[in-house]
Structure 1
Amino acid sequence: MIIFFREGYSILSKPEDLPVHFIFNQEKLSGEKVMVLRSFLGALALSLFFAGCQSGTEKNPVEELFGSQQPDSVYTPSYAKGFSIAYFDDLKLVHIADPWDSTAVGDYVLVGDEQTADRYKNSEIPFVEYPVKSWGAFSSTQVVFAEKIGELKSLKCVAEPHYISNTFVQQQLQKGHIRDVGLASAADVEVLLASAPQFVFVSPFKDNRYGTLKEAGLLLINDCGYLETTPLGRAEWIVFFGAFFDQEEKAAGLFSEIASSYNSIRKEVENSSSTPSVLTGTLFNDVWYIPSGDSYMAAYFKDAGTKYAYGDKPGTGSLALDFETVFNDFRKSDYWLITVNHDGRFTKEDFLQMDDRYGDFEAFQGNQVVFSNTAYSMFFERGIVEPDVVLKDLVACFHPEIYPDYELVYFEFLNE
């Protein structure tokens, strides 16, 4: 759980530009509705935040700070499930759900200007002041989020920069203004400390690989967006990200445009008379990892108007199968979607060199293999933040009659 604050903070000024769930302007409501709204928000936020943070019978720091105070407004994501934001006067309270233990006590961060922070200096909750002067990113997606809301200049360190395509970041790395801390799972503590970030966004692991960094006194902010199971759910984490930089208005506006575009494309697919079948993935060390029915990719397949044979398989992760099982269930699929990381042009011959049995699938024989060469496409970097573009790519491939003149961005057909 994270807390932000700022003296005289006003959340947003253009309600018509935001989803309905972003409730913030009570002046537009009648007195009776305001009372009902405040009562509802108070019950909702306090039950989510205080009860979720309670450890045994001990009073937790959040309750110590807020007491029985009710929030003025709450941002409850429309698609993301891993975070929410409550606003208390000049304070912002952001809840980050533990992805593996719903009963676990979260982390808390108090964010604000120095003068206001002095009022809460005795709180047990650590804080970060904004405007942010220095921060770190362990994921290329976080860099894309920062680029979109205009917050790259304060970035001081990154992990695995070879996955980052942003020109400004690469230039700053060469100049030494941004430091390379190495692998996200085994970052160089000395380089991190020398970078002096106010906080570092990390993607949490179930086995908690960041103990050494915490022991060194670094403030780590868990970015759980990659665990969301829908494309819009992952993209909505830009609002969470923006909150650290006091940029909710811009982030929420950007996401509103993304969601509107995505849903518009999805509606166009609903009018299509065809429902092509689709296969995805390839063998890795003799195991074929294929998405379960409640997974991120399965959501894409559904929204793209396809028939996915494992769409009814429960689970949000992947199924580990052998070649024979996949071949029996997907041999006649109309399309085959894959991602590869290949140096140079990826061809049919390259594909068959991976496993010559791939040539026995009808999608391969009919030139209906759709691939993204992630060595160049930036699918894993920008695709998370542009789910509407990814969906339009898929629809253009699976339903060519809908977008006959569309130029693909992340994917292409394996025709060579």
Structure 2
Amino acid sequence: MKHLLPLLIISVFFISCQKNKPIKPVKTPVKTNIKYAKGFDIITTGNQKKLIIKQPYQNAKTQFTYILGNKTNLSTNELKVPVKNIVVTSTTHIPMLEEIGAENFLIGFPQTKFISSIKTRKRIDAGHVIELGSEQTMNTERLIELAPELVIGFGLNGNNKTYKTIQRNGIPVIYNGDWLEETPLGRAEWIKFFGVLFNKEKEADSIFNVIETNYLSVKKIALKANKIPTIISGSLFKDLWYMPAGDSFIATYFKDANTNFLWQNTKGTGSLALSIESVLDKGLAADFWIGCGLFENRADMLTSNQKYNSFSAFKKGNIYTYANNKGATGGLIYFEKAPTRPDLVLKDIIKITNSDLLPNYSLTFFQKME
């Protein structure tokens, strides 16, 4: 028995050590499928899903995190999904709703006249989408009567009094920052934002994958070009020419179309404010002028400023505008649909600048200005 005592003591010590050995915490993998967009993320941790708005508006210093579940609680930023009825505030949201088959959940919109989509216009005419006034002075009383489960807003800053009033009445508001994205595919990827709100993530992922594949494919086609044309863009507004900056999503289109945008080496993601003299100095002999503000014809441009006629692209008729492609009530289709379909915008630019690369394609957004 005395020989067994040491073994017994060792066994008890070993078992005691095993019980006191710290247990390593099991790490739950965090998943995200956002590839290009910088302004939002969708995080899945275990069974919990979160929607994170990283850039809700310009120069935002805070981000918003929403827990997606089976109830809405404004105090804890919980949102019930799928959303059954919604108000959105930008025409760029309309194609994304339609692409994932969620257009029938739209019940209100500010300034419905700007919506060009034939499908949603039918719902407006039938009284299913209610006019809510302008975005800045939205009819909050009418909106509160509609009682949407969610409002998708956009703004230049976080001090929108209308949105604060809506939230005080128990209706959550989420900022959509798709317009702040710096790349075409980053803007288009916001379709996943709507997908997660309506439990249509598979649909949104599939649609975006097709758009991405098309975009990257036509980008490769552009590399086959035998000539690299020079490009200018923009127009005068109150004596300043607003030209896309070199890091903007517009400049990205020109780069991906394998063209030489003459301001591609400038800094900034927005627009450059230039004098017409500086634009003439650099862009006088440019081959193409793509995007000239809201001008619809060359006569109106000359009425605005005779110096436009100095540009070679203007003289030769190589000037293209999106301002003539409108919906039934005057809304510009480019502003509404282009963010969702960057692949078609890129095709347009390639068709304009190197038409032989896309012989069977017809322009979607742009038209040659008369």
Q: Same fold (TM over 0.5)?
A: yes
Distance 2:363 2:118 in 1: 23
State the match for 1:195 in structure 2: 146
The residue number in structure 2 matching 1:380 is 335
Q: Indicate the SS of the match to 2:267.
A: coil
> With structure 2 as the length reference, what TM-score do the two structures score?
0.85
1:239–1:248 Cα contact (<8 Å) kept: yes
- Please give the per-residue CA displacement for 1:289-314, whole angstroms capped at 9, x wherever unaligned: 11111011111110111111211111
Please give the secondary structure, in 2, of the residue aligned with 1:200: strand
1:279 and 1:336 in contact (8 A); partners too: yes
Aligned with 2:41: secondary structure? strand
Q: Which residue of 2 aligns with 1:360?
A: 310
Partner of 1:404: 359
Aligned-residue CA RMSD (Å):
2.3
What whole-Å deviation, never above 9, does each CA across 1:16-68 have from its counterpart, x for those lacking one?
xxxxxxxxxxxxxxxxxxxxxxx9xxxxxxxxxxxxxxxxxxxxxxxxxxxx9
CA contact (8 A) 1:231 1:300 kept: yes
Q: Confirm or deny that 1:156 pairs with 2:111.
A: no
Report what 1:108 is aligned to.
65
The separation in 1 between residues aligned to 2:81 and 2:139, in whole angstroms, is: 26
- Equivalent pair of 2:233/2:290 in contact (CA under 8 Å): yes
**Which of 79, 102, 117 in structure 2 is aligned with 1:128?**
79
Relative to structure 1, the CA distance from residue 138 to residue 401 in structure 2 (aligned partners, 3 Å threshold; closer, same or farther) is same
Alignment of 1:241-320 (within 5 A): 241-320=194-273
Aligned partners of 2:30 and 2:200: how far apart in 1?
Answer: 17
When residues 83 and 71 of structure 1 are mapped into structure 2, their CA distance, relative to the original with a 3 A threshold, is: farther
Moved more, 74-83 or 189-198: 74-83
Alignment of 1:22-101 (within 5 A): 70-98=27-55, 99-100=57-58
Deviates more, 1:358-367 or 1:160-169: 160-169
Instruction: Give the percent of matched residue pairs that are identical in Structure 1 and Structure 2.
Output: 30
Deviation larger for 396-405 or 380-389 = 396-405
| Cα offsets for 1:214-248 (capped at 9, x unmatched) | 34443111111110011111001101221101111
Amino acid across the alignment from 1:148: E
Number of corresponding residues: 339
2:42 aligned partner, one-letter code: I
Q: Is the 8 A contact 1:374 1:380 kept in 2?
A: no
Secondary structure at the aligned position of 2:212 is classed as: helix
The secondary structure found in structure 1 opposite 2:102 is: coil
Change (3 A) 1:69 1:154: farther
State how far apart, in whole Å, the 2-side matches of 1:262 and 1:206 are: 32
Instruction: Tell me if structure 2 keeps the 8 A contact 1:137–1:157.
Output: yes
Matched, 1:228 2:181: yes
Displacement of 1:143 in angstroms is 1.4
Task: Check 1:221–1:400 CA distance in 2 against 1; reply closer, same or farther (3 A cut).
Answer: same
Query: Deviation per CA, 1:369-405, whole angstroms, max 9, x where unpaired?
Result: 1111255160110111111011001001011221234
The structure having more radius of gyration, on CA atoms, is 2
Instruction: Pick one of 306, 328, 332 that aligns with 2:285.
Output: 332
**For the Cα contact (< 8 Å) 2:234–2:293, is it kept in 1?**
no
SS of residue paired to 2:254: helix
Unaligned runs of 5+ in 1: 1-38, 40-67
**Structure 1 Cα separation of the partners of residues 125 and 359 of structure 2:** 43
CA distance in 2, matches of 1:81, 1:69: 29
Please report how far the alpha carbon of residue 275 of structure 1 lies from its aligned counterpart in structure 2 after TM superposition: 1.1
8 Å CA contact 2:51, 2:68 repeated in 1: no
Match for residue 25 of structure 1? none
Listed as ranges, the gaps of 5+ residues in structure 2 are 1-23, 327-331
- Alignment check: 8 A CA contact 1:341 1:375 kept: no
Q: Distance in 2 between matches of 1:243 and 1:91?
A: 13
Does the aligned pair in 2 maintain the 1:141–1:384 contact within 8 Å? yes
Distance 1:172 1:323 in 2: 45
Q: Distance in 1 between matches of 2:324 and 2:316?
A: 23
Distance 2:366 2:59 in 1: 36
Map 1:168-179 → 2, pairs under 5 A: 168-179=119-130
Given that 2:83 and 2:150 are in contact with CA atoms closer than 8 Å, whether structure 1 keeps it comes out as: no
**Which structure carries more relative contact order (alpha carbon 8 Å, separation 6+)?**
2
In the superposition, the TM-score normalised over structure 1's length comes to 0.76
Flag the 1:158–1:107 CA change in 2: closer, same or farther, 3 A. same
